[in-house]
Amino acid sequence: MASLYKYKLSLSFLVLIGILFCSFYWTRVPMEGSKSSVAAAASFRFGYFGQQEGEVGDWVKQFKDVSYFAASNQLLQQHPEAQSFQLYPIYDGSATEQSFNQAYPHVPTETLSGYGKSVYSITKGTARLFFLNADRLQDAGDGQLEWIRKTIAGNKQTFAFAWLSEDPKLPEVWTTFRKAGISAVFIRNSVYVLDLAVTQAPSDYKSTEYEDWKIWDLSELDEKPLITVLEAHGNALTMMAEKEQGKVLDQLELNADNLASWDLSTLREKQDISLVGIQSLWHYHLGDDSIKSTIPEGVDPVGEGPIIETSHTEPVPLPSSDWRSPEYDDSGWKTGRSPLGYTTNKELQTYIQTKLESGSSPTYYFRRTFDLNGDPKKLSGLLLHIAYEDGYVVYLNGQEVSRDSILTGVLNDSSLAIPNEFTYYRRIDLKAHLNKLVKGTNVIAVEVHRGHPGAPNLLFDLGLSVESNGEVSR
């Protein structure tokens, strides 16, 4: 009996081992130390319609995995059937602000006092979305900028995006976006992104005139219409330009960790101090015989940068009769707010604040003063932002610091520039010219030339700023 008992016990043990082995085999336990995992759910999925054709309502129904969308007011008004709580409108000036307020009951009211529903902010998943009024953002001091800073600082999300109907064309606006932490800005068929955050660039990816920003131009894609879908997984975001049936035409990827690792302390320590703001007041004068440009003794009149420091670092003195001189009397000149100029381009006509007369001379002269308190030697940077057509030369306290699209040498009011299209706020590093600043009153003078005596366009605006570590102020 004892032997039979031992036999049954051994048999049971072998059966148990067999079952465990089979179970182990059938469950396919990984043998390489890795394991498969189900993909994490998206933090959010958001769709954006740019300037396109097609039935918006049909697209909304097709992309059922996208809960919310953004589109311009003009596009939504063309498709009333698509107006619902799922769609967030972008104010584009196609209707009055009052009409816009009444058209979308689900949009937050008076997020920013005085702007109605044309400016608002919402949170979706891990993203904060800002819908802005581009018309009012043309002013660098507009209240939307401070509101963005405070909103982001008070409720930090992983991602922050902004929607606009058009580019405000102001470097100060883009600097605010960058410093506030907005990583992407959507304007019609273009997506502006902070290049530092990008981990995979799309096929059509170009530089812009704004520091640290690059642009993905969706209008360059051959297939249209399309929708841009934003999908986030943790700190990683993918923007996909998609056709019907979810066909991906191109995509851009960015990661919030890249921005978090950015040395923001440097941005906080360094202060950008505006010496001359965009859209400032300028004295101006049409070119004629009363505008004198002196050729100092020993200076080559056809050489590059005629009004420069000598090899002994001493500035070349200019008489007070020279329009570039700090001592020049411009009290008899007219005064106007920039941008100044004249053009036959209807879009640029709305941009100009002071319309100039086109005279017999292809040249206009501009001057203004600004004050600098503290020691200029403690400054760490000097930046010029200039918008112009066709060519220009800039002088700081009587010395040339920048020129473009015009021949070298001393110029007069009949000198012609090299014809070119209007340049929006080109950013130029003038750090090498910091020694031309003085404590107290400084003078900046600019001459802008047309490319042909009968050319119909001349435009000008300029901003000048310095970087410091806090010791110097305006």
* DSSP string for residues in 80-137: GGG-STTEEEE--SSS-HHHHHHH-TTSPS-SSTTSTTSSEEEEETTEEEEE--TTGG
- Residue 251: Cβ within 10 Å count: 18
Please tell me which of 103-107, 266-270, 294-298, 319-323 the model is most confident about, judged by mean pLDDT: 319-323
Query: Which of 229-238, 296-305, 336-345, 393-402 is predicted with the least confidence, judged by mean pLDDT?
Result: 296-305
Which of residues 160 and 29 earns the better pLDDT score?
160
User: Residue 109: what pLDDT?
Assistant: 84
At residue 53 the predicted structure's pLDDT band, cuts being 50, 70 and 90, is low
Tell me the C-alpha distance between 417 and 405, whole Å: 6
SS3 197: helix
Longest CA–CA separation in the chain, Å: 132
Can you read off the two tokens belonging to residue 268?
């906080």
User: Residue 470: what pLDDT?
Assistant: 57
The whole-number average pLDDT for the span 255-261 is 77
**Helix pair 171-180, 143-154: axis angle to 10 deg:** 10
Tell me the C-alpha distance between 361 and 411, whole Å: 13
Mean pLDDT, the chain, integer = 83
At residue 55 the predicted structure's pLDDT band, cuts being 50, 70 and 90, is low
Tell me the C-alpha distance between 322 and 310, whole Å: 19
Tell me the C-alpha distance between 342 and 424, whole Å: 15
SS3 340: strand
Tell me the C-alpha distance between 87 and 116, whole Å: 18
336, β-bridge pairs? 282
Q: DSSP character for 249? A: E
Do 71 and 56 touch, CB atoms closer than 8 A?
yes
Write out pLDDT tens, residues 260-303.
655 444 444 456 788 998 888 999 999 999 999 988 766 666 65
Cis peptide before 225 (omega within 30 of 0): yes
- Residue 321: Cβ within 10 Å count: 12
Query: Which of 7-11, 144-148, 151-155, 354-358 is predicted with the least confidence, judged by mean pLDDT?
Result: 7-11
Nearest to 202, CA basis, from 189, 184, 181, 218: 218
User: Residue 22: what pLDDT?
Assistant: 43
CATH 3.60.21.10-classified regions of the chain: 44-268
Which of residues 10 and 232 earns the better pLDDT score?
232
Nearest to 252, CA basis, from 204, 185, 187, 295: 204
Tell me the C-alpha distance between 463 and 210, whole Å: 13
Q: What's the angle, vertex CA 123, arms to CA 47 and CA 82, rounded to 5?
A: 40
Tell me the C-alpha distance between 393 and 286, whole Å: 15
Tell me the C-alpha distance between 313 and 7, whole Å: 107
Do 333 and 354 touch, CB atoms closer than 8 A?
no
- 89 — phi, psi (to 5°)? -85, 150
151, β-bridge pairs? none
With 80 as the cut, is the pLDDT of residue 42 above it? no
The whole-number average pLDDT for the span 126-151 is 90
Which of residues 327 and 305 earns the better pLDDT score?
327
User: Residue 122: what pLDDT?
Assistant: 92
User: Residue 32: what pLDDT?
Assistant: 35
The CATH architecture annotation of domain 44-268 reads 4-Layer Sandwich (3.60)
Write out pLDDT tens, residues 190-224.
999 998 889 899 988 998 888 889 999 988 887 77
CATH 2.60.120.260-classified regions of the chain: 272-468
Can you read off the two tokens belonging to residue 292?
């004198």
User: Residue 306: what pLDDT?
Assistant: 46
At residue 10 the predicted structure's pLDDT band, cuts being 50, 70 and 90, is low
With 80 as the cut, is the pLDDT of residue 460 above it? yes
- Residue 260: Cβ within 10 Å count: 12
> Is residue 364 packed enough to be buried (19+ CB in 10 Å), middle (13-18) or exposed (0-12)?
buried
Q: What is the CATH number of domain 272-468?
A: 2.60.120.260
User: Residue 262: what pLDDT?
Assistant: 57
